[in-house]
A = this chain, B = another copy of it.
Amino acid sequence: MAKQQPLQFTLDRGSPVPLYFQLSQQLEAAIERGELAPGSLLGNEIELAGRLGLSRPTVRQAIQSLVDKGLLVRRRGVGTQVVHSQVRRPLELSSLYDDLEAAGQKPATRVLRRAVEPASATVAAALGVAEGADVVHVERLRLAHGEPVARLSNHLPVGLLDLEGGALERAGLYRLMRTAGITLHSARQTIGARAATPAEAELLAEPAGAPLLTMERTTYDDTGRAVEFGSHLYRASRYSFDFQLLARS
């Protein structure tokens, strides 16, 4: 357990990006590159602060953000250790489109339907509007490498976003929302499974009665307003939900 040579960090006090953030990013990059070995001590906070010309609270804030990400573990009286890898990304509020793109699958979208409709009881309850009130309904078929992967059905409040057809084929719904200045805050979702109906089987190129993954999700922005209700169907033979989660506290 020999002490390793200190890493080099470059901090720019003139930059608008906070110092604790600059530090945490460089620490994360060093861990990613393996320059900070898993299990190794990070060196005590006070000495680190002194070496970098920062105060301890600032250094602590940088370290804390990585602890929250699951990359570091603090042990009182011992020190701060790098976790033994295995950590990738925790579950995020991400869109299928971006996930597929990041995985190198060429995603594509076919818009099946785009209309203003009266809200059903389920949709009204999820979006917090009156039953029968107008909502936007979008139905899309998502493809990867030209093969169908999922049927996405979304309901949105009217006037939230203008979903011009072309935009929907070039990006995921969430990216469009963020671009429109909506800050996503949280979502409530349910993942289940059921057998495909004949129509669904045909659309997704599956045999009749094939098992499908279902996902229902209501997304809220930071004012607490429901901005989207989605009811999706995934081909179980070609898709699964894959994520990491951290123990709280």
Contacts and interface: CB of A to CB of B under 8 A. Distances in A.
A: interface residue count bin:
35 or more
Given A193-B236, A194-B236, A246 B186 contact: yes
A175 to B, nearest CB: 13
A240 interface: yes
A148 interface: no
A88 B220 CA distance: 13
A149 to B, nearest CB: 13
A163 B68 CA distance: 32
B212 A209 contact: no
Given A193-B193, A212-B193, A186 B247 contact: yes
Contacts of A84: 220, 223-225
A62 interface: no
A186 B93 contact: no
A188 B68 contact: no
Interface string A113-131: 0000000000000000000
Nearest to A243: B189
4 smallest beta-carbon distances between A and B, as pairs: A84-B224, A192-B240, A211-B211, A193-B236
Interface of A: 38-39, 57, 68, 70, 73, 83-88, 90-93, 183-195, 209-213, 218, 220, 222-226, 236, 239-248
